[in-house]
Amino acid sequence: MSTPHTAHRLQLTGITKRYPGVVANRDVSLTVQPGEIHAVLGENGAGKSTLMKIIYGAVKPDEGAVLFNGQPVHVRNPQAARALGISMVFQHFSLFDTLTVAENVWLGLDKSLSLPEVAASIRAKGDEYGLPIDPARPVHTLSVGEMQRVEIIRALLTNPQLLILDEPTSVLTPQAVERLFVTLQQLASEGCSILYISHKLHEIRALCTACTVLRGGQVTGVCDPREETNASLSRLMIGAEPPELEHRPLHAGEPVLQVKGLTLDSDDPFGTALADIALTVRAGEVVGIAGVSGNGQGELLRCLSGEDMRAPAGSIAMGARDVARLSPGKRRGLGLHFVPEERLGRGAVPTMSLAQNLLLSRRDAVGVGGWVRVGALKAQARDIIARYQVKANGPDAAARSLSGGNLQKFIVGREIEAKPTLLIVSQPTWGVDVGAAAQIRGEILALRDAGCAVLVVSEELEELFEISDRLHVIAKGRLSPSMDRADATVERIGEWMSGLWTTDHQNKETAHAAA
């Protein structure tokens, strides 16, 4: 990279972007130096994603100037951005479902490379960075976490001068995060600049050398995160520190969910078969499941929610009732509510309003004869918007108009407010800012204290440590024994993510017997 060190790698001046009813960015200025790892921090809806899309050419600013390597540029589209040396990994992925991994990556690369060469590069880059992926798999068969791996690899294969990463570590084990950080620091040492968006404050403090904070679309501070604490960064971002979670003593009741001997081939040729899954969740406890995406979480959750009704009879029970072959609607009638990891298209219908989306899992607004009580729906939506501090233009706002974090708050609120007997949540705070994450976790604990059985599947270990009473790890379709939260460590969970719990568990049992 022959850029003179006297030039800024990226300089934004007076960037403003307006949408109907909202100013996403207002007079934003930002400077990134060559070889700098620069964090952009802000709560959900603060304007971070819009600003990154402007840099990447996916959105055009209404006002302001962009300089790259000291030269004024008008980035017309992402193709022009890549030609300049700018690559981006989006939080919401830009992949074609019907194409393979290799074909998706090939679309953004120099066409002088053959498809087999691209596939080989994907394998090599994935092995190098701890992001294994099969280039031949169709994208529609991938989990959300695996799609993110594809996006990261695609960006790295372009050898960028500026790499934009939006929540890149949410699908990685702690050991893989460490490897990725080593890679990013190596890229920075070679002159590549990195814009890093994350809600994990400890990551920003460990990795980044500069930080720009946005609030309400405006820059509210610039700092060196290495000199800050999580509390001070929170104050810069949301104007306050997130509330402390109150984790009351466990008073678990009777089993609400029992899974025994659940063995099932995946109905997807690229999926993960489940092998002899055993799981119990009692009333008044939170059970967490950790694991790297693509190890059977999706298959297990589809069996539990009723989307996949092929589970063997007797393998899934709610209380004394065998529900293995019951539909999602019938399980919902028994008190099971479910928050999937995919917000748009599964958790919510993008084009429907927030009020209309309540009908997906709540039927108390349907009156005699099947008539929808529209007023009641809108009132429920307003209550959820207010209680969970969802930034939206009222109950009539389309689901797709919300930022990812705000839509997540609404969906979680929708299911919690339904007063479930059993709540199953996948990735409850993925892409949600620290204030909103603390609120969602607090609501989950309040639900647990009220006697609800809660199962949380998350790739965020800090989250599981905060809210779980017991923990399992899933790896290659197998579920580990449970361990009490007090016995769990990051190192131990990381080892178990590789399927190593059998030896570890036997060693512990032997030591316990010897004592």
Model pLDDT, residue 450: 94
Q: What residue spans define the domains of the chain?
A: 10-238, 255-335+420-514
Mean pLDDT across the chain: 89
Mean pLDDT value across residues 287-292 = 93
Say if residue 440's pLDDT is above 70: yes
The closest alpha carbon to 47, from 62, 28, 32, belongs to: 28
Q: Is residue 93 scored above 80 in pLDDT?
A: no
Q: Phi/psi of residue 142, each to 5°?
A: -90, 150
CA dihedral (428, 455, 414, 397) in degrees, to 10, reads: 30
Round to whole Å and give the CA distance between 483 and 239.
Answer: 37
Percent of the chain with pLDDT over 70: 93
Cβ atoms within 10 A of the Cβ of 477, count?
22
Class of residue 244 by CB neighbours under 10 A (exposed 0-12, middle 13-18, buried 19+): exposed
Exposed/middle/buried for residue 400 (C-beta within 10 Å: 0-12, 13-18, 19+): middle
Q: How confident is the model at residue 3 (pLDDT cuts 50, 70, 90)?
A: very low
Give me the CATH code for the 10-238 domain, please.
Answer: 3.40.50.300
Token couple for 396: 């009539």
Given this chain, do its domains 10-238 and 255-335+420-514 carry the same CATH topology? yes
Could you read off the pLDDT of 162-196 as tens digits, one per residue?
999 987 776 566 666 787 888 889 889 989 999 99
Residue 508 has pLDDT above 60, yes or no: no
340-349 per-position pLDDT tens digit: 988 888 899 9
Instruction: Kindly report, residue by residue over 366-401, the tens digit of the pLDDT.
Output: 777 788 889 999 999 999 999 988 989 899 999 998
CA distance 101 to 376: 45
Q: How confident is the model at residue 279 (pLDDT cuts 50, 70, 90)?
A: very high
Q: Can you tell me the distance from the alpha carbon of 59 to that of 279, in angstroms, rounded to the nearest whole number? A: 46
Residue 4 has pLDDT above 90, yes or no: no
Token pair recorded at residue 406: 């705000």
Flag whether pLDDT at 31 surpasses 50: yes
In sign, the C-alpha dihedral spanning 481, 484, 488, 494 is positive
Measured CA to CA, the distance from residue 16 to residue 27 in angstroms comes to: 5
Beta bridge partners of 150: none
Fold of 255-335+420-514: Rossmann fold (3.40.50)
Tens-place pLDDT, residues 50-90: 999 999 999 999 999 999 999 999 999 998 999 999 999 87
* Edge-to-edge strand list for the sheet holding 10-19: 22-32, 10-19, 63-68, 71-72
Q: What letters, b where the CB count within 10 A reaches 16 and e where it falls short, cover 92-114? A: eeebeeeebbbbbbbeeeeeeee
